[in-house]
């Protein structure tokens, strides 16, 4: 059996999806069911994670030239 070692994961979020993922406007902290689940998984499987908010608020749209908007474009451009 092959084992996969994951030490850091980057999660991206487009916008608030109550009650699943919410961002507090004052502190910019994330909360909600999805955040709680990721937090518990990181403890269980011993990895760290970062959240990155999509700068244009989109999941991703493809253009004819092969580039993308949204989160898909951020991954494509290796935005950190």
- Tell me if 38 sits within 8 A of 32, measured CB to CB: no
Q: In total, how many domains does the chain have?
A: 1
- Tell me if 21 sits within 8 A of 34, measured CB to CB: yes
What confidence tens digit (pLDDT) does each residue in 34-74 have? 888 888 998 998 888 877 777 788 888 999 999 999 888 98
Query: Does the residue 3 lie in any domain?
Result: no
pTM exceeding 0.75: no
What confidence tens digit (pLDDT) does each residue in 3-45 have? 656 666 666 555 666 767 777 777 667 778 888 888 899 899 8
Of 59, 57, 37, nearest in space to 49 by CA = 37
Distance CA 42, CA 47 (A): 5
Query: Does the residue 38 lie in any domain?
Result: yes
The CATH number of the domain where 28 resides is what? Answer: 3.40.190.10
Domain hosting residue 23, numbered range: 8-76
């Amino acid at each position: 059996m092959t084992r996969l070692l994951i030490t850091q994961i980057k999660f991206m979020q487009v916008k608030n999806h109550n009650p699943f993922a919410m961002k507090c406007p004052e502190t910019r902290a994330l909360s909600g069911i999805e955040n709680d689940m990721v937090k518990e998984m990181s403890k269980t499987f011993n990895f760290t994670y970062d959240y990155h908010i999509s700068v244009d608020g989109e999941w991703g749209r493809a253009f004819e030239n092969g580039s993308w908007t949204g989160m898909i474009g951020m991954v494509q451009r290796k935005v950190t």
